[in-house]
Amino acid sequence: MSSNQRTVVITGASSGIGLGLAEAFLRQGYNVVGNARTEERLAAAAAHLEHSPRFLGVAGDIGERRTATRVVERAVERFGAIDVLVNNAGIFIAKPIAEYSEQDLDTLIATNLKGFVYASQAAAAHMVPRRQGHIVNITASIAMQPNIAVPAALPVLIKGGINQATRALALELSPHNVRVNAVAPGIVDTPLYTPDMHGFLNSLAPAGRIAKVNEIADAVLYLNDAEFTTGVVLPVDGGMSSGKW
């Protein structure tokens, strides 16, 4: 089935920021192709989205190249083309450097790094010949301004690298009319954090609160509409990355 509507692919779409992005893009009239690890998580997301016919779930580990390839293939098969990719899938593990296990490192590399690379490769291979497209990476403001209260060297390493890769890819793909930007959230109110943690988390931003999911989605939509903007890493963090306070 093809469609004249625009289509977005969102990784990590079954909860938190990803699910909020799916809602926001559906409201904008987009077709949404959401990836998550399991069919069960995608079924719950589809129910949350009121089983919209413009939502297609594609299960699989985005840290595997074959999953990224399949997501793009299914999106094109169902909706005809891909206009936007949001690399949202990510895991955040905060602990002192000496306490990271080999499994922690492997997990962060698989989801945060390989998931970004494979999905971006598959999307770029589709977008470049069409001379149209936009890739948005969800990174982390702590990768722009580390915080002594949140030891997180490995996420900073990977997300900071993706912040720089955003700029590099923007230059590489700009001649093909494909834009690349990033949104760098601070701490966001998602199911990852229990209510009893909010007091401490609120203290980590000069704004005195954590972000709402829709505030991250708003930033993604802003960059998506800003047609001459590419290579930007936009912090949405209540001032966390502005410096010391």
Cα gap 10→33, rounded to integer Å: 6
Give the pLDDT confidence score for residue 164 in this predicted structure.
98
The tens digit of pLDDT for each residue in 105-150 reads 999 999 999 999 999 999 999 999 999 999 999 999 999 999 999 9
- Provide the angle, in degrees to the nearest 10, between the axes of the packed helices 213-225 and 16-27: 50
Closest CA to 165 of 208, 204, 128, 114: 114
Distance CA 143, CA 139 (A): 8
* Rounded distance between C-alpha atoms, residue 232 and residue 163, angstroms: 9
Residue-level pLDDT at 1: 37
Q: Write down the pLDDT at residue 139.
A: 98
The total of other beta-carbon atoms located within 10 Å of residue 144's CB is 19
Q: Supply the DSSP symbol for 211.
A: B
Tokens for 81?
A: 């083309």
Q: How far is CA 98 from CA 53, 110, 151, 153, in A?
A: 48, 20, 11, 10
What's at 26, amino acid-wise?
L
Q: Are 158 and 111 in contact (CB under 8 A)?
A: no
Residues with pLDDT less than 50, the chain = 1-3
pLDDT of 2: 39
CATH architecture of 7-242: 3-Layer(aba) Sandwich (3.40)
Per-residue model confidence (pLDDT) at position 102: 98
Residue 194 pLDDT: 87
User: Rg of the Cα trace of the chain?
Assistant: 17
Residue 53 buriedness (CB in 10 A; 0-12 / 13-18 / 19+): exposed
Query: Phi first, then psi: what are they for 176, rounded to 5°?
Result: -100, 10
How far CA 123 is from CA of 7, 92, 118, 176, 177, in Å, comes to: 12, 24, 9, 13, 13
231, 225 Cβ separation under 8 angstroms: no
pLDDT for the residue numbered 3: 43
